[in-house]
């Protein structure tokens, strides 16, 4: 590695039998989707996460698109979501012609502020899409109660939240639909990859059809129909067995991966809390109902200038930190197709002050100490006149 990327922001790791399972898939003679590894992954996820039904997808973006199709979002419909999120959360609905309605985040968890949701609801609202930022849960009791009162669907963007819980329930399994990501930057990976979680049994059959190009092919393979045919709209959302084989090897080591991520989070927290005590930065906040998965570690700086200076300082010392998100309501497409509900003060302020530190399975304690030393040195240099 060059000096410039001594400590990268992310590094995908193999943790077990990934290559062995890929070879097994190749020799098994079934490389398309829905083979033995896909079934193993789905069953594992259903059992371990308490999900009614899980369908593997080729990305969380694909799972979100299926969710948007399943709740029949269309032109004129509105969907409530944070502006502080990844583009896919909104794109899934924009592709259907629906309007994203952006609501501000809570300053503590950086999640959709449940107290601001009701004032964003109109007769055209169809769904609420909470995003569990950093694997820390939104206030799901409040959100599901609001949805029930107004007859709305809840679709969890749990891309970052597999392995996290809220009051003992797995994130992604609480809403009508949930979406997980196995992108190489997430906790459990397959390069690209994702899954749709379906809590409402009434949505399972249609979900299988949408995922199989709008055909009843899944029923055909189960022997429930004699031939398969085109019965609905749809696309190809299923991953290849090569991808599922890699993923299954990761899931077999899920507890180790979770433990490692949580340990990294705890170490960053313990190592940086003195800087927080001095008022130099703010660390992540985890409400008592949530048990997160240590997905990512961020710090919030005083202002944008400090954040950018710290980013440059880390980069000059070979540490690749990153920031996100450009608020969707400030982006060209968000402006053109979205609507804002109320002031997005915390969204705007957070996106300018947030910095994510390197956090991945193979990050060593020594590397983590180096990152933390660089942070301490940065503030020492700044405090000195």
Ligand X SMILES: *Cc1c(COP(=O)(O)O)cnc(C)c1O
Considering the complex, state which of residue 56 and residue 310 has its C-beta at the smaller distance from ligand X.
56
Q: Binding to ligand X by residue 65, rule CB under 6 A?
A: no
Which residue among 60, 92, 207, 299 contacts ligand X (CB under 6 A)? 60
- Shortest distance (Å) from residue 149 CB to ligand X: 26
Integer-rounded Cα radius of gyration of the chain? 21
Structural contact between residues 324 and 356, judged by C-beta atoms closer than 8 angstroms = yes
Q: Binding to ligand X by residue 215, rule CB under 6 A?
A: no
- Shortest distance (Å) from residue 191 CB to ligand X: 10
Q: In angstroms, rounded to a whole number, what is the distance separating the alpha carbons of residues 192 and 204?
A: 23
* Lookup: tokens for 281: 């930065």
Binding characters for ligand X, 92-131, by CB under 6 A (x = yes): ---------------------------------------x
CB contact set of 149 (below 8 Å; sequence gap of 6+) = none
Q: In angstroms, rounded to a whole number, what is the distance separating the alpha carbons of residues 247 and 40?
A: 10
Burial of residue 220 (CB within 10 Å: 0-12, 13-18, 19+) is middle
Binding characters for ligand X, 320-359, by CB under 6 A (x = yes): ----------------------------------------
Give exposure, 145-172, as e/b (b: 16+ Cβ within 10 Å). Answer: ebbeeeebbbbbbbbbbbbbbbeeebbb
CB contact set of 61 (below 8 Å; sequence gap of 6+) = 88, 91, 92, 194
- Please give the angle made by the CA atoms of 240, 87 and 127, to the nearest 5 degrees: 95
Structural contact between residues 334 and 87, judged by C-beta atoms closer than 8 angstroms = no
Q: In angstroms, rounded to a whole number, what is the distance separating the alpha carbons of residues 328 and 335?
A: 8
* Lookup: tokens for 1: 């590695």
Which residue among 10, 42, 89, 99 contacts ligand X (CB under 6 A)? 89
Segment near ligand X (CB under 6 A), from 19-27, 53-61, 103-111, 241-249?
Answer: 53-61
Binding characters for ligand X, 139-158, by CB under 6 A (x = yes): ------------------x-
Which residue among 38, 42, 61, 218 contacts ligand X (CB under 6 A)? 61
- Shortest distance (Å) from residue 189 CB to ligand X: 10
End-to-end alpha carbon distance in the chain: 35
Q: Binding to ligand X by residue 85, rule CB under 6 A?
A: yes
- The overall longest dimension of the chain from CA atoms, in Å, is 80
Segment near ligand X (CB under 6 A), from 84-92, 220-228, 253-261, 281-289?
Answer: 84-92
Segment near ligand X (CB under 6 A), from 80-88, 166-174, 227-235, 343-351?
Answer: 80-88
Q: Binding to ligand X by residue 91, rule CB under 6 A?
A: no
Angstrom CA distances, 287 to 81, 116, 367, stand at 20, 18, 28
Binding characters for ligand X, 157-186, by CB under 6 A (x = yes): x-xx--------------------x-x---
Q: Binding to ligand X by residue 83, rule CB under 6 A?
A: no
Residues that bind ligand X (CB under 6 A): 59-61, 85-86, 88-89, 131, 157, 159-160, 181, 183, 194
């Amino acid at each position: 590695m060059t000096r410039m990327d001594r400590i990268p922001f992310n590094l995908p790791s193999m943790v077990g039998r990934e290559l062995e399972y890929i070879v097994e898939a190749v020799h098994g003679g079934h490389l398309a989707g829905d083979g033995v590894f896909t079934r193993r992954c789905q069953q594992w996820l259903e059992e371990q996460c308490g999900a009614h039904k899980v369908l593997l997808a080729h990305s969380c973006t694909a799972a979100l698109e299926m969710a948007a199709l399943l709740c029949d979002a269309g032109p004129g419909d509105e969907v409530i979501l944070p502006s502080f999120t990844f583009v896919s959360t909104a794109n899934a609905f924009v592709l259907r012609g629906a309007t994203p309605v952006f609501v501000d985040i809570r300053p503590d968890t950086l999640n959709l502020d449940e107290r601001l949701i009701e004032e964003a609801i109109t007769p055209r609202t169809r769904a609420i899409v909470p995003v569990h930022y950093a694997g820390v849960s939104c206030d799901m009791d409040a959100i599901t109660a609001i949805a029930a009162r107004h007859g709305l669907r809840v679709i969890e963007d749990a891309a970052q939240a597999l392995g996290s819980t809220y009051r003992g329930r797995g994130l992604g399994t609480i809403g009508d639909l949930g979406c997980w990501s196995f992108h190489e930057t997430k906790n459990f990976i397959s390069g690209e990859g994702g899954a749709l979680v379906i809590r409402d049994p009434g949505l399972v059959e249609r979900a299988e059809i949408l995922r199989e190009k709008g055909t009843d092919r899944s029923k055909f393979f189960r022997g429930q129909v004699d031939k398969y045919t085109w019965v609905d709209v749809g696309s190809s959302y299923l991953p290849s067995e090569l991808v599922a084989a890699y993923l299954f090897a990761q899931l077999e080591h899920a507890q180790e991966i979770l433990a490692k991520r949580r340990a990294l989070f705890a170490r960053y927290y313990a190592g940086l809390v003195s800087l927080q005590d001095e008022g130099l930065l703010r660390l992540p906040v985890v409400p008592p109902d949530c048990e997160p998965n240590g997905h990512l570690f961020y710090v919030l700086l005083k202002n944008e200038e400090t954040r950018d200076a710290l980013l440059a300082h880390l980069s000059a010392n070979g540490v690749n930190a990153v920031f996100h998100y450009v608020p969707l309501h400030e982006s060209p497409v968000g402006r053109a197709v979205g609507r804002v509900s109320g002031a997005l003060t915390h969204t705007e302020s957070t996106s300018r002050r947030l910095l994510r530190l390197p956090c991945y399975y193979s990050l060593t304690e020594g590397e983590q100490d180096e990152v933390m030393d660089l942070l301490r040195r940065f503030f020492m240099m700044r405090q000195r006149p």
